Structure 1
C-alpha cells in the first residue's frame, strides 16, 4: 500500500468578526487530502485534514516542502511494521527532514494539517473511529465518546451591543452548552466589565462564562484586568499576554487566583514545556489549550502529553483550541478535558457530525471510521470535491 497523491486547497473562512488583536476579514485555511491506494467500499481511502482558524492557509509550504518529501519517499518507508497501514510517526519524520530545530511558526501549521489527514486515513484503513484507535494504542484501551465542549463566540462585531451579545450567548445555552466564552481586550476595561456582567446576568445554575484576551495585554494591563475579573465567577481568564511571555503569565498567576488558560499559540512540545517550566501554570485549576492542528499534529501532541505527565499534569487539564473534530477524537481517546466549539462560525469546518447534539455541555461522538468527517454532510462535500 502507499500514498498516491496529496492535494491542498486554500479556502476562505472570512468573517466581519474581530477579537482584541485581529479581524477575520481575510482569514483562510488549508484543506488537505491524502489519497491512498487502499480500497474500501469500492473507493480509495482518503484522509482529510485542515488547519484551525486564526492561522492562514499553508499551501506554499505544503506544496514546496512537505508534500514533495512524502511523495519522493520510498512507499514502504512510510508504512508501519505490519506493512498494512501508514505510520504517522514515520511520515512525520519524513516531513521534517532538513528542518532545523526551533522556528516553530508557520511550518508547524503545515505539518499539523497533513498530519491530521494522515491519522484520518490510518483510522479508516484500520476500520475504526480514530478515538478507538488512540485509546488502544496510547490510552487505557477504552475510549469515552462523551466529551465536554464549550461554545466560543462573543467577538466584537460592527453594531453589536450588549443586547446582541446576550442574544448570542443565550442561543448557545439554549443549544445545550453549559460554558460560553467571549472576547475581551478590544474595548476599555470598564466596557468589557459591562459586557461580562451583561452575560453573567443571563446564566443559570451550572452555567459559566470564560473570557479570552487573545494575547493583547502587557503585564500592567493583564494585572489590571485580573484584579477586575476577580470579582466574577469565571470559568477561566484566557491568554492575557503574548503566548511566549512566560514571565507575564507567572506574575499574573500571583495576582489572579481564578483559573487561567493559555497555550493555543504555542506550536511545539518545547514551547509547551517552557510554559510549564516558567509560566506559573497551576495543575489544580488552570487549563492548557494546545491545538494539534497548529502544532505539528498529533505526533507532536503525543510528545506534549508525555511531557505534561512527567511534570505532574493530567491530560484532563487540556481543552484544545480550534473547534475541530480531530481534537474531539483525541479528547475521547486519550482523556482530555474537552474541546472548544464554534457553533456559528468557521463553517463547514467546525462543529460535529450531523445529528450530534450538545446535552448539558457534552457531546457523544458516533462510531464513524476515521475522524468522522463523513458524518458531516456540508464538510465532506467540500473534502470530496478536493479529492476528486
Structure 2
C-alpha cells in the first residue's frame, strides 16, 4: 500500500467574536486529505484532518516542506511491520526530517494537522474507530466511549449585553451541557465580575461555570482577578497569563487555591514538561489543555502523556482545547478527562456526528471507522470536496 497524494486547502472560519487577545474576523484553518490506494467498504481510504481554531491555516509550510517529504519517501519506509498499514510514527519522523529542535509554533500546527489525517487513515484501514485502535495499542484495551464535554462560548461580541450572554449559556445548558465557559479579560475587572455574576445566576444544581482569560494578564492583573474570582465556585480559571510565563502561573497558586487550567498554547512535549516542572500546577485539582491538532499531533501527544505519567499526573487531568473529534477519540481511547466543545461556533469543523446528543455533560461516541468524520454530514461534504 502507499500514500497517493496529500491535499491541503485553506478554509475560512471567520466570525465577529473576540476574546481578550484576538478577534476571529479573518480566522482560517487548513483542511488536509491523505489519499491512499487502499479500498475499504467500497471506497478508497482517505484520511482527513484540520487544525484547531485560534491558529491560522498552515498551507505554505505543508506544501513547501512536509507534504513533499512524505511523497518523496520510499513508500515502504512509511509502513508498519505488517506492510499493510501506515505507521504514523514513521510518517511523523519523515515530516520532521531536517528540522531543528525548538521553535515550536506554526510548524507544530502544520505537522499536527497532517498527523490527524494520518491517524484517520490508519484506523480506517484497520476498519476500526480510532478510539478502539488507541485503547488496544496504547490504553487499557477497552475504550470508554462516554466522554465528558463542556460548552465553550461567552465571547465578546459587538453589542452583546448580559442578557444575550445568559441566553447563549442557557442554550448550552438546555442542550445537555453541565459546564459552560465564558471569556474574561477583554473588559475591566468590574465589568467582567458583573458578567460572571450574570452567568452564575442561570446555573442550576450540578452546573458549573469556567472562565478563560486567553493569556491576557500580567502578574498584578492575574492576581487581582484571582482575588475576585475566589468568591465564586468556578470550574476553573483558565490561562491567566502568557502561556510561557511559568513563573506567573506558579505564583498565581499562592492567590488562588481553586482549579486552574492552561496548556492549549504549548505545542510540544518539551514545553509541556517545562510547564509541569516550573508552572506550579497541582495534579489533584488543575487541568491541562494540550491540543494534539496544534502540537505535532497524536505522535507527540503520546510522548506528552508518557511525560505526565513520569511526573505523577493522570491522563484524566487532560481536557484538550479545540473542540474537535480527534481529541474526543483520544479521550475515549486513552482515558482523558474530557474535551472542549463549540456548540455554535467554527462550523462545520466543531461538534459531533449527526445524532450524537449531550446528556448530563457527556456524549457517547458512535461506532464509526477512523475519527468519525463521515458521521457528520456537513463536515464530510466539505472534506470530500477536497478530493472528489
TM-score category of the 2 structures, normalised to the smaller one: over 0.9
Q: Write out aligned runs for 1:113-128 (5 A).
A: 113-128=113-128
Asked whether the 8 Å contact 2:34–2:46 carries over to 1, the reply is yes
Q: Secondary structure at the match of 1:37?
A: strand
Aligned-partner Cα distance in 1 for 2:2–2:42: 17
**Aligned residue number for residue 363 of structure 1:** 363
Aligned-partner Cα distance in 2 for 1:145–1:261: 24
**Aligned residue number for residue 266 of structure 2:** 266
Asked whether the 8 Å contact 2:263–2:290 carries over to 1, the reply is yes
1:83 Cα offset (Å): 0.5
Q: Deviations over 1:59-84 (max 9, x none)?
A: 00000000000000000000001101
Q: Deviations over 1:245-283 (max 9, x none)?
A: 000000001111110000000000000000000000000
**Aligned residue number for residue 92 of structure 2:** 92
- Structure 1 stretches (4+) deviating beyond 3 angstroms? none
Asked whether the 8 Å contact 2:320–2:339 carries over to 1, the reply is yes
Aligned-partner Cα distance in 1 for 2:40–2:134: 21
Aligned-partner Cα distance in 2 for 1:253–1:177: 28
1:387 Cα offset (Å): 1.3
Aligned-partner Cα distance in 1 for 2:114–2:243: 24
Aligned-partner Cα distance in 1 for 2:73–2:293: 23
Aligned-partner Cα distance in 1 for 2:43–2:208: 45
> Where in structure 2 are there 5+ consecutive unaligned residues?
none
Q: Write out aligned runs for 1:173-252 (5 A).
A: 173-252=173-252
Q: How well do the aligned residues superpose, as a CA RMSD in angstroms? A: 0.3
Aligned-partner Cα distance in 1 for 2:73–2:197: 57
| Residue 382 in structure 1 maps to residue 385 in structure 2 | no
1:41 Cα offset (Å): 2.6
Q: Write out aligned runs for 1:36-75 (5 A).
A: 36-75=36-75
Asked whether the 8 Å contact 2:179–2:210 carries over to 1, the reply is yes
Aligned-partner Cα distance in 1 for 2:337–2:254: 24
Aligned-partner Cα distance in 1 for 2:41–2:151: 36
Aligned-partner Cα distance in 1 for 2:89–2:157: 42
Q: Deviations over 1:342-361 (max 9, x none)?
A: 00000000000000000000
**Aligned residue number for residue 307 of structure 1:** 307
Q: Secondary structure at the match of 1:11?
A: strand
Aligned-partner Cα distance in 2 for 1:41–1:215: 46
**Aligned residue number for residue 147 of structure 1:** 147
Aligned-partner Cα distance in 1 for 2:372–2:43: 17
1:40 Cα offset (Å): 1.4
Q: Deviations over 1:336-377 (max 9, x none)?
A: 000000000000000000000000000000010000000000
1:22 Cα offset (Å): 0.1
**Aligned residue number for residue 8 of structure 1:** 8
1:43 Cα offset (Å): 2.0
Asked whether the 8 Å contact 2:112–2:296 carries over to 1, the reply is yes
Asked whether the 8 Å contact 2:223–2:252 carries over to 1, the reply is yes
> Where in structure 1 are there 5+ consecutive unaligned residues?
none
Q: Write out aligned runs for 1:288-327 (5 A).
A: 288-327=288-327
1:234 Cα offset (Å): 0.1
Aligned-partner Cα distance in 2 for 1:173–1:111: 35
**Aligned residue number for residue 137 of structure 1:** 137
Q: Secondary structure at the match of 2:114?
A: helix
1:155 Cα offset (Å): 0.1
Q: TM-score, normalised by structure 2?
A: 1.00
